[in-house]
């Protein structure tokens, strides 16, 4: 049941409100920096570049003045992965023959011969993964969902000038963020109903593939059916409000920070914009 209760809070990461320099940066700047930083981390081939990028991220965390538990909350889920990565890198990892001291043996575990080159390679791989996880964590910790949607929308708008559907893409993202908590609640309700029928209960047994697939299908098929049925209602609501694809600052009305119930139908203005239509129809669903 605890698993069912956690579904309504599906999010990319926890947002910690604040007034630091990182918090007040334009979301577009943060999104572009995330992209460039990620490419730099992935493409960096020298160890000192990887280390410098990691130190810069650590400095950004300090500048963001996040609570002490924030970095821990970001890193906790990936700790087992880091351990597996470290072991696999040490035993089977790539070893740069040009690296000085690469052949120096450090440890012998059975048939595997761990050399200094592999230890350095494992350290670089771990720092690289840590950097990427911390980078994504920093973005979601210092940027609210509505600010992210706003940044995405404004970044995509110039696409209209070259004939690409920038506004439509932004509206798609806004709908997804708006309905994520609503569908989370729906999934939770389906899970409770199936648990009551003893369809999704019991321990997980990886070898029983057909049973696991049936259990998942029992949850997911009603979720899809519900989501696709809502498509008709939302499309009708948008059409009824004469939505013409004009820009309407979707993020300000469409993506509340936590739950759909934060907004009421009273907040819908008389204009025919899509954000209003979305809020109105999602509140009435």
Partner 1 sequence: MEQQERSIRRIVTAGMLLAVTLLLALTPVGFIPVPTPAGSATIAHIPAIIGGILEGPLVGLIVSLGFGFASFLSPLVPVKDPFVIILPRLLIGVAAAWVYYGLRRARRPALTAVLLVLAVAVLAAAYVVSQSVLWLGIAIAVLALSAAGFGVWWLGRGDTAAVGLAAAAITGSLANTVLVLGAAVVRQVAGITPEVALSIGFMQGIPEAVVSAIIVVAVVSAIRQVGRNRSKL
Instruction: For the segment 101-140, give every residue that binds partner 1 (CB under 8 A).
Output: 125, 128-129, 132-133, 136, 140
- Scan residues 172-211 and list those touching partner 1 (CB under 8 A): 172-180, 183-184, 187, 191, 204-207, 209
Is residue 213 within 8 A of residue 239, CB to CB? The reply is no
Give the shortest CB-48-to-partner 1 separation in angstroms.
20
Q: Contact between 94 and partner 1 (CB under 8 A)?
A: yes
Q: Contact between 39 and partner 1 (CB under 8 A)?
A: yes
Question: 59 to each of 14, 25, 82, 170, how far by Cα in Å?
Answer: 20, 15, 22, 32
**DSSP secondary structure letters along 154-207:** HHHGGGGGGTS-HHHHHHHHHHHHHHHHHHHHHHHHHHHHHHHTTSS-S---TT
- Whichever of 64 and 125 has its CB closer to partner 1, that residue is 125
- Whichever of 48 and 207 has its CB closer to partner 1, that residue is 207
Is residue 93 within 8 A of residue 121, CB to CB? The reply is yes
Pick the binder of partner 1 from 1, 5, 10, 59 (CB under 8 A): 10
Q: Contact between 168 and partner 1 (CB under 8 A)?
A: yes
Pick the binder of partner 1 from 5, 36, 42, 112 (CB under 8 A): 42
Sign of CA dihedral 118, 119, 120, 125: positive
Q: Contact between 246 and partner 1 (CB under 8 A)?
A: no
């Amino acid at each position: 049941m605890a698993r069912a209760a956690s579904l309504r809070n599906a999010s990319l990461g926890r947002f910690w409100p604040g007034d630091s320099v990182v918090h007040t940066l334009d979301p577009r700047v943060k999104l572009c920096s995330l992209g460039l930083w990620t490419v730099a981390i992935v493409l960096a081939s020298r160890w000192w570049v990887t280390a410098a990028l990691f130190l810069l991220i650590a400095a950004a965390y300090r500048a963001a003045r996040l609570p002490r538990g924030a970095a821990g909350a970001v890193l906790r889920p990936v700790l087992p992965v880091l351990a597996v990565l470290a072991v696999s890198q040490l035993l089977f990892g790539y070893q740069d023959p040009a690296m000085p001291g690469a052949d120096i043996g450090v440890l012998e575990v059975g048939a595997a011969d761990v050399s200094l080159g592999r230890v350095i390679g494992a350290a670089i791989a771990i720092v690289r993964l840590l950097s990427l996880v911390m980078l994504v964590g920093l973005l979601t910790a210092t940027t609210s969902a509505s600010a992210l949607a706003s940044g995405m929308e404004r970044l995509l708008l110039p696409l209209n000038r070259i004939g690409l559907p920038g506004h439509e893409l932004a509206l798609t993202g806004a709908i997804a963020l708006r309905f994520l908590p609503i569908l989370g609640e729906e999934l939770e309700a389906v899970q409770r109903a199936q648990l009551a029928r003893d369809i999704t209960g019991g321990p997980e047994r990886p070898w029983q593939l057909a049973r696991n697939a049936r259990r998942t299908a029992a949850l997911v098929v009603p979720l899809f059916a519900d989501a696709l049925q809502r498509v008709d209602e939302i499309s009708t609501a948008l059409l009824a409000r004469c939505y013409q694809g004009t820009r309407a600052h979707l993020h300000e009305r469409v993506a509340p920070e936590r739950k759909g119930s934060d907004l009421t139908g009273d907040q819908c203005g008389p204009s025919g914009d899509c954000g209003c239509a979305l809020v109105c129809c999602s509140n009435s669903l």
